[in-house]
């Protein structure tokens, strides 16, 4: 029984630390350490920027995206708008050109990463910025984002994306606000552990070509740190994206994301501490590795509770609470009450981590991608 008690308490402690303890640790460190602050842009001409939009069958939104890019508060003669069509079978290329993109690449299907690589190779700007075809940037977003590079140590910067929900059951916005608070603390203390695909940028000198199945969101920040750069979060650079409407759609989206994430974790260098400063190694272990271990920690805690339930009232109650969470998640499918939907969101998104690992181990991860359900 002692072994099962150790398993139970180890899993519970790690889960509580990952969700609640880690934010408290960051907040405490931010109070006692001198946090890194952004350097304000200096006078003179801003750097040249190539804003790259990788697109696959985005005829419904690409003209709107190009128009949004052209309307940004940034000197037009220092901004190049690039659409990289990844083998689109619709009118993405034609509509991108008609909307006024400076460069439209009609590429063979090779996946988002290779489309971005090709666009970077064809561009010539000092800064390369990236956005999704369905993202809308605020007018000052690019200027704010590029301002981070006034610090010569910064190699990567990502902005803040707000998910717009026109209804439905998805609770991603609740989690995303929590995630952005963590990201802000990480950035103040050094470097972030992950970015987002809606709004980010790198120096041309710091851009990295990665495996085509490994997305930039996770692979860029830690690789920047290993190479001596900082990866920062600029919350004043804002974008908006339509949220997947349903929890089931969110599960499918995160499952696909995790099938791209696990190769980065297990063979892409994330696990190797070489090149990490001590604090950043703690961030990776806390914010990335423990998060990805969550489904397995939950499963082990549940099994341990089953074994120990007959030995004390405490473990019987622990088992009842865990089963209650699962029941609440099941009820959330038919009873759309907020507490039940939050429970369902937590269970499904936690399960998506394990499902993504299963998908990758079973049949690998394709480099190509499809727009998520209901986001266009």
Residue 247: per-residue pLDDT: 87
Residue 246: per-residue pLDDT: 85
Dump strand ranges (E) for the chain.
49-55, 79-86, 103-107, 127-131, 136-137, 154-164, 200-203, 230-242
C-alpha R_g of the chain: 22
Residue 364: per-residue pLDDT: 87
| 8 A C-beta contact, residue 354 and residue 335 | no
The whole-number mean pLDDT for each consecutive block of 10 residues of the chain, a chain of 376 residues, reads: 94 97 95 65 82 96 97 96 96 96 96 96 96 96 97 97 74 82 95 96 96 94 97 96 86 93 95 95 97 98 96 95 96 91 94 97 82 62
Contacts of 82 (CB under 8 A, 6+ apart): 50, 51, 52, 53, 101, 102, 103, 104, 105, 119, 122, 123
Residue 245: per-residue pLDDT: 80
Residue 232: per-residue pLDDT: 97
CB neighbour class for 299 (10 Å; exposed up to 12, middle 13-18, buried from 19) = middle
Distance in angstroms (rounded) separating the CA atoms of residues 187 and 200 = 14
Spatial strand order in the sheet of 79-86: 103-107, 79-86, 49-55, 127-131, 200-203, 154-164, 230-242, 136-137
Nearest to 99 by CA among 63, 62, 61: 63
In the chain the domains, ranked by start, together with CATH numbers, are: 49-245 (3.90.550.10)
């Amino acid at each position: 029984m002692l072994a099962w008690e150790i398993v139970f308490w180890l899993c519970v402690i790690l889960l509580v630390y990952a969700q609640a303890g880690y934010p408290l640790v960051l907040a405490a460190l931010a109070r006692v350490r001198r946090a890194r602050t952004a350097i304000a842009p200096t006078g003179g001409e801003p750097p040249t920027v190539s804003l790259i939009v990788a697109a696959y069958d985005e005829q419904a939104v690409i003209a709107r995206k190009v128009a949004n890019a052209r309307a940004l508060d940034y000197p037009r003669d220092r901004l190049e708008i690039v659409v990289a069509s990844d083998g689109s079978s619709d009118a993405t290329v034609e509509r991108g050109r008609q909307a006024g993109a400076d460069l439209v690449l009609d590429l063979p299907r090779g996946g988002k990463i290779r489309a971005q690589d090709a666009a970077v190779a064809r561009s010539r700007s000092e800064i390369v910025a990236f956005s999704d075809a369905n993202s809308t940037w605020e007018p000052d977003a690019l200027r704010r984002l590029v301002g981070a590079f006034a610090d010569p140590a910064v190699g990567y910067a990502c902005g803040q994306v707000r998910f717009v929900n026109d209804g439905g059951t998805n609770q991603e916005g609740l989690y995303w606000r929590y995630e952005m608070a963590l990201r802000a603390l990480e950035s103040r203390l050094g470097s972030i552990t992950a970015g987002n695909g809606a709004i980010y940028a790198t120096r041309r000198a710091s851009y990295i070509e990665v495996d085509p199945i490994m997305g930039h969101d996770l692979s860029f920040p830690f690789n920047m740190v290993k190479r001596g750069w900082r990866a920062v979060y600029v919350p004043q650079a804002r974008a908006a994206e339509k949220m997947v409407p349903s929890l089931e759609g969110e599960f499918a989206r995160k499952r696909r994301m995790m099938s791209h994430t696990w190769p980065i974790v297990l063979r892409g260098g994330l696990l190797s501490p070489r090149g990490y400063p001590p604090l950043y190694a703690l961030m990776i272990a806390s914010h990335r590795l423990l998060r990805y271990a969550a489904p397995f920690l939950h499963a082990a805690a549940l099994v341990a509770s089953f074994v120990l339930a007959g030995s004390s009232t405490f473990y019987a109650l622990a088992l009842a609470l865990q089963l209650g969470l699962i029941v609440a998640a099941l009820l959330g499918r038919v009873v759309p009450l907020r507490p039940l939907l939050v429970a369902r969101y937590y269970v499904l998104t936690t399960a998506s981590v394990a499902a993504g690992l299963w998908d990758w181990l079973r049949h690998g991860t394709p480099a190509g991608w499809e727009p998520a359900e209901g986001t266009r």
